[in-house]
C-alpha cells in the first residue's frame, strides 16, 4: 500500500509539472476570491459595531455598495478560475489518452492477451475522466485551501484565541477520522475499477458476438452471463459509495457541530463582556468561510479516493515494460530467405511450439496447414516479432537475428477477418498515412481489382467506410491492398480465402502469382484446396513442430497425417 501511494504521488506530481502554468493562473484567479472571502467577515464586524450604531445612512449605503461590488468581483474571478480548472482537466485527459494509446503501440503483444479490449477501452475512457480532474485540480485546491484556512485561523486567533480553539479542535478531529477511512476507500476504489473493467470487457464480448446471439437466441443465458459481472460491479460500487458517503456525512455533521458550539460559547463570552456581538458575528462568518476550503479539501480527498483505482490502472499501462527493440536495426536491401530453427514458445506450462523449424525462400509461396491449436498463428506471430521465442534461432538471409521485429518494415499482413477503420475513408484505410505515389497506388488497385470496386462509389477513395456496405471478400481486397502499400518482401496471409467467393479468390490468387514472380516471399495459413495447390511448398504443423513438407501431391503420398487432414476435409475442396 505504501509503495502504491508513492507511485501515485510521483505520477501526479510529474503530470502537475506539465500544466503548472495553467494551474498557477487558475490559483491566482481563485486566490483573489479567497482574499475577498477573508475580508468579508471583517466588513460584517464593521457594519455591526461601527456603521449601524453611527446612524449615518449615507455611510451605510456606501458600505453596502462596497460589499456588493466586492461580492460581484469575487464571482467574476471565481468564474474564470473554474473555467481554467475545467479546461486544464480536459487537456490533461486528452493528453493522457494519447499517451496511453501511444504506449500501447510499443507494449509486448502478450499484454493484449492478458488485457481484454473492453478493459483497455475502460482505461482509455472511464478511468481518465477522474484522473484528468485530479491532475488539473488537486495541487491548486490543496494550496489554496491550506492558505485560506491558515489566514482565517490567524485572524480568528487575533480576535479571541479561546473562541478559535473550539472550531480548530473539531477540524483536527474531522481530518483524523477521514484519514482513518481513507485506507478502506482506496482499497474499495481499486476493486470497483477492476470490476468495471471486467464488465466493460464482457459488454464488448457480447456486442462482438451479436450475430451469433441473434441467430441462436440464447437471450436468457446472455443476460444471466451479463448480470453476473454487472452484479459484481454493483456490489463493489455500493461498497465504494458507502465508504465515500461516510466522509460526506461526517463533514455535514461536523459543520453543524462547529456552528452550534460557536454560537453557544460565543454567546456566553458576549454575556461576560469579553467580546462584542460584531466580533461574534465575525467569528460565525469566518467559520462559514472555513467550511468552503474544508469542503474543497474533503472533495479533493474524495476525488483522490474515487480515482485511486483509475490512477493505478493508468500507471500500470504507462509504466509497463515495453517491447524489446533492437538498438541496431540494419536496413535490409533484400530478403532472400527467412529460417526458423528449433523455435520453442509457450504460455506458462502450456508449450505451443516445441522445436519448430521452417524455411521461407524468395519467390516462393509456402502454405502452413494443421489442426486447430497446432501452432500456426503462433508461428506467424514469431515471424512478425509479436512474440519472442523462448529458445531457437531466427535467420534472415542466413544471418542469425536476436529480434525478428526488424522484419516488420518489410512485412505485409492480412488476417482472416480484417478490421477497417469505420470513420476513415477507403484511401485512409489503405495507406494508413503512409506516403505512396499515385502510380504505385493505381498499380495496387489494378492488381487487387479495387479499381472496379471504387467505381461503385460516387466519392471513390474518399468514401467513408461507415457509409458503405462491403462484403467479406471486398474487405479482404482492401486489406490486401493495404498490405501491399509498404512494398513488402514478406507477405503473410492468415486464412484470407476461408470465407470469400470464388471470384475474389481468383483475384487474390492472381495477385499472389504476380508477387511470387517479383521475388516476394509469401507465407499463408490455408485449408482451401485451391489455395493450397497454389503453393510451391506445403508445411504440415502438428503439436508444435513441422512434421512434413512438400507439394500437395507429394504429401498425399508421403504423409499419412496430411492425407488424414485431407480426408477429414480439413483441407477443403471448395
Residues 211 and 294 in one domain: yes
C-alpha cell at 247: 466522509
**Residue 405 belongs to some domain of the structure:** yes
Residues 343 and 313 in one domain: no
Does the structure show a pLDDT above 70 at 326?
A: no
**Residue 9 belongs to some domain of the structure:** yes
Q: What percent of the chain has pLDDT over 70?
A: 91
- pLDDT score for 1: 56
**Domains contained in the chain, number:** 2
Residues 164 and 96 in one domain: yes
Residues 343 and 272 in one domain: no
Structural domain boundaries, residue 369: 337-567
Q: Which residues of 432-454 are buried (b: 16+ CB within 10 A; e: fewer)?
A: eeeeeeeeebeebbebbbbeebe
Residues 302 and 344 in one domain: no
**Residue 326 belongs to some domain of the structure:** no
Domain boundary among the residues 318, 348, 365 is at 318
Mean pLDDT of 59-75: 83
Q: How confident is the model at residue 207 (pLDDT cuts 50, 70, 90)?
A: confident
Confirm if 365 and 536 have CB atoms less than 8 A apart.
Answer: yes
Instruction: Please identify which residue in the block is written with the cell numbers 477521514.
Output: 178
Determine the straight-line distance between the first and last CA of the chain, rounded to whole angstroms.
60
**Residue 229 belongs to some domain of the structure:** yes
**Residue 330 belongs to some domain of the structure:** no
Residues 74 and 158 in one domain: yes
Higher-pLDDT residue of 511 and 261 is 511
Domain boundary among the residues 267, 290, 318 is at 318
**Residue 545 belongs to some domain of the structure:** yes
**Residue 572 belongs to some domain of the structure:** no
pLDDT (tens digit, 9 = 90+) per residue, 387-417? 889 899 999 998 888 777 778 888 899 988 8
Q: How confident is the model at residue 248 (pLDDT cuts 50, 70, 90)?
A: low
Residues 462 and 508 in one domain: yes
pLDDT (tens digit, 9 = 90+) per residue, 442-494? 999 999 888 888 888 888 889 988 888 888 888 999 999 999 998 899 999 99
Confirm if 49 and 278 have CB atoms less than 8 A apart.
Answer: yes
Query: Which of 462, 470, 344 minimizes the C-alpha distance to 417?
Result: 470
| Measured CA angle at 495 (ends 201, 530), to 5 deg | 160
**Residue 122 belongs to some domain of the structure:** yes
518 burial level (CB within 10 Å; 0-12, 13-18, 19+) = exposed
Mean pLDDT of 55-74: 84
CATH number at residue 411: 3.40.50.300
392 burial level (CB within 10 Å; 0-12, 13-18, 19+) = middle
Residues 302 and 352 in one domain: no
Does the structure show a pLDDT above 90 at 90?
A: no
The structure's pTM equals: 0.71
Domain boundary among the residues 318, 353, 383 is at 318
Q: How confident is the model at residue 567 (pLDDT cuts 50, 70, 90)?
A: confident
Query: Which of 139, 155, 165 minimizes the C-alpha distance to 296?
Result: 139
- pLDDT score for 21: 83
3-state secondary structure of 490: strand
Mean pLDDT check: name the lowest of 236-245, 271-280, 561-570.
Answer: 561-570
Residues 245 and 289 in one domain: yes
Rounded Cα distance, 500 and 69, in Å? 75
Most confident by average pLDDT, 91-95, 199-203, 371-375: 371-375
Residues 259 and 367 in one domain: no
Residues 353 and 314 in one domain: no
C-alpha cell at 55: 446612524
CATH number at residue 114: 1.20.1560.10
Mean pLDDT of 356-385: 91
Residues 150 and 298 in one domain: yes
Amino acid at each position: 500500500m505504501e509503495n502504491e501511494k508513492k507511485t501515485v504521488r510521483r505520477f501526479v506530481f510529474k503530470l502537475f509539472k506539465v500544466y503548472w502554468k495553467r494551474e498557477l493562473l487558475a490559483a491566482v484567479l481563485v486566490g483573489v476570491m479567497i482574499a475577498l472571502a477573508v475580508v468579508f467577515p471583517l466588513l460584517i464586524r464593521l457594519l455591526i459595531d461601527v456603521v449601524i450604531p453611527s446612524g449615518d445612512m449615507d455611510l451605510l449605503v456606501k458600505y453596502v455598495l462596497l460589499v456588493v461590488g466586492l461580492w460581484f468581483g469575487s464571482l467574476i474571478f471565481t468564474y474564470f478560475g473554474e473555467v481554467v480548472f475545467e479546461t486544464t482537466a480536459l487537456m490533461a485527459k486528452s493528453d493522457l489518452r494519447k499517451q496511453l494509446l501511444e504506449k500501447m503501440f510499443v507494449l509486448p503483444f502478450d499484454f493484449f492477451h492478458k488485457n481484454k479490449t473492453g478493459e483497455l477501452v475502460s482505461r482509455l475512457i472511464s478511468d481518465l475522466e477522474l484522473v484528468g480532474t485530479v491532475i488539473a485540480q488537486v495541487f491548486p485546491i490543496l494550496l489554496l485551501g491550506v492558505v485560506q484556512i491558515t489566514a482565517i485561523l490567524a485572524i480568528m486567533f487575533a480576535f479571541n484565541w479561546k473562541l478559535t480553539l473550539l472550531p480548530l479542535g473539531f477540524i483536527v478531529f474531522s481530518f483524523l477520522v477521514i484519514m482513518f477511512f481513507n485506507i478502506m476507500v482506496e482499497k474499495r476504489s481499486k476493486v470497483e475499477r477492476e470490476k468495471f473493467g471486467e464488465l466493460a470487457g464482457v459488454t464488448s464480448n457480447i456486442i462482438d458476438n451479436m450475430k451469433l446471439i441473434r441467430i441462436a437466441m440464447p437471450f436468457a443465458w446472455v443476460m444471466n452471463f451479463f448480470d453476473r459481472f454487472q452484479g459484481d460491479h454493483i456490489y463493489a460500487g455500493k461498497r465504494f459509495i458507502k465508504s465515500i458517503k461516510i466522509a460526506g456525512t461526517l463533514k455535514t455533521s461536523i459543520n453543524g457541530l462547529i456552528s452550534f458550539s460557536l454560537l453557544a460559547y460565543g454567546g456566553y463570552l458576549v454575556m461576560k463582556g469579553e467580546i462584542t456581538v460584531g466580533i461574534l458575528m465575525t467569528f460565525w462568518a469566518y467559520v462559514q468561510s472555513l467550511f468552503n476550503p474544508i469542503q474543497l479539501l474533503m472533495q479533493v480527498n474524495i476525488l483522490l479516493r474515487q480515482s485511486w483505482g483509475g490512477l493505478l490502472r493508468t500507471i500500470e499501462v504507462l509504466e509497463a515494460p515495453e517491447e524489446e527493440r533492437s538498438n541496431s536495426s540494419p536496413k535490409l536491401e533484400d530478403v532472400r530467405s527467412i529460417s526458423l530453427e528449433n523455435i520453442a514458445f509457450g504460455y506458462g506450462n502450456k508449450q505451443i511450439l516445441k522445436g519448430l523449424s521452417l524455411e521461407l525462400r524468395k519467390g516462393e509461396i509456402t502454405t502452413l496447414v494443421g489442426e486447430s491449436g497446432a501452432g500456426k498463428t503462433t508461428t506467424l506471430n514469431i515471424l512478425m516479432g509479436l512474440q519472442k521465442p523462448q529458445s531457437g534461432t531466427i535467420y534472415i538471409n542466413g544471418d542469425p537475428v536476436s529480434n525478428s521485429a526488424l522484419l516488420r518494415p518489410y512485412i505485409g499482413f492480412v488476417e482472416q477477418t480484417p478490421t477497417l477503420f469505420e470513420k476513415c475513408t477507403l484511401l485512409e484505410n489503405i495507406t494508413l498515412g503512409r506516403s505512396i505515389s499515385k502510380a504505385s497506388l493505381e498499380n495496387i488497385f489494378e492488381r487487387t481489382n479495387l479499381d472496379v470496386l471504387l467505381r461503385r462509389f460516387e466519392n471513390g477513395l474518399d468514401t467513408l467506410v461507415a457509409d458503405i456496405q462491403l462484403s467479406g471478400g471486398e474487405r479482404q481486397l482492401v486489406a490486401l491492398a493495404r498490405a501491399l502499400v509498404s512494398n513488402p518482401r514478406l507477405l503473410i496471409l492468415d486464412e484470407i480465402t476461408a470465407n470469400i467467393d470464388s471470384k475474389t479468390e481468383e483475384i487474390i490468387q492472381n495477385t499472389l502469382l504476380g508477387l511470387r514472380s517479383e521475388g516476394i516471399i509469401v507465407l499463408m495459413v490455408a485449408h482451401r484446396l485451391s489455395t493450397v495447390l497454389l503453393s510451391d511448398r506445403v508445411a504440415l504443423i502438428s503439436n508444435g513442430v513441422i512434421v512434413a513438407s512438400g507439394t500437395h501431391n507429394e504429401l498425399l503420398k508421403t504423409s499419412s497425417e496430411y492425407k488424414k487432414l485431407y480426408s477429414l476435409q480439413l483441407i477443403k475442396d471448395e
